[in-house]
């Protein structure tokens, strides 16, 4: 049932992004891509979407024992975010297969140092976006720009998927995932694997 619900959500996310999200991008997309003075709140969100895939690499590749390998979906998430990760959660079944992740990579992904670096980057971006950004500009961009609209929803979906990953992979309360990026990585730091 969970997989069916995720499939409906994934298809709905795609259809919403294509047909219902605002059309056009105004100056927002070009400002972000060229770094031509984008609003700090937009830049922070855009950058956080670059950190989130690294979090999923940590969450999913530490112990890649499912029915399908996680790495193609994690790799795809660096470009397509939740659009790439949701099929993994839909298709993967629990299985006690040998861990597919090479030992050296697994050790890196389980390291507290990597998690701390990702937490510091995420907190820095969040503080920068909240303190230096203009909420009214972000709100206007959300209503006018397809890219900003979908990017924001993608961030929320990734937050939801991190809650799911914590419940399924780490067998801990998904509530840790409510604090995007930081919460899931705190589980890794605490050593609950």
- pLDDT tens string 142-181: 999 999 999 999 999 999 999 998 888 777 876 777 889 9
When comparing pLDDT for 1 and 27, which is higher?
A: 27
- Report residue 37: phi and psi, to 5°: 55, 55
Domains of the chain by residue range: 2-10+31-190
47-96 pLDDT tens trace: 999 999 999 999 999 889 889 999 999 999 999 999 999 999 999 988 77
- The maximal CA–CA distance of the chain, rounded, in angstroms, is 50
CA neighbor of 125 nearest in space, from 12, 22, 45, 35: 45
Task: Report whether pLDDT(124) > 90.
Answer: yes
Mean of all residue pLDDT scores within the chain: 91
Closest CA to 55 of 156, 185, 163, 187: 185
pTM of the model: 0.91
User: What does the pLDDT average to over 132-145?
Assistant: 95
């Amino acid at each position: 049932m969970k997989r069916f619900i995720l499939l409906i959500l994934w298809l709905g996310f795609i259809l919403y992004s294509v047909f219902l999200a605002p059309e056009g991008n105004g100056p927002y997309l070009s400002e972000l891509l060229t770094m031509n003075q984008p609003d700090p709140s937009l830049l922070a969100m855009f950058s956080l979407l670059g950190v989130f895939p690294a979090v999923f690499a940590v969450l999913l590749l530490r112990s890649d024992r499912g029915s399908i390998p996680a790495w193609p979906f994690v790799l795809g998430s660096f470009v397509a975010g939740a659009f790439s990760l949701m099929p993994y959660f839909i298709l993967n079944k629990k299985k006690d297969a040998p861990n597919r992740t090479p030992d050296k990579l697994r050790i890196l992904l389980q390291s507290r140092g990597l998690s701390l670096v990702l937490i510091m980057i995420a907190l820095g971006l969040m503080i920068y976006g909240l303190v230096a950004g203009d909420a009214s500009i972000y709100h206007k961009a959300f209503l006018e720009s397809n890219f900003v609209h979908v990017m924001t929803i993608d961030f929320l979906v990734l937050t939801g998927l991190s809650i799911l990953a914590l419940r399924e992979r780490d067998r801990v309360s998904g509530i840790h995932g409510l604090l995007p990026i930081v919460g899931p990585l705190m589980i890794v730091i605490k050593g609950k694997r």
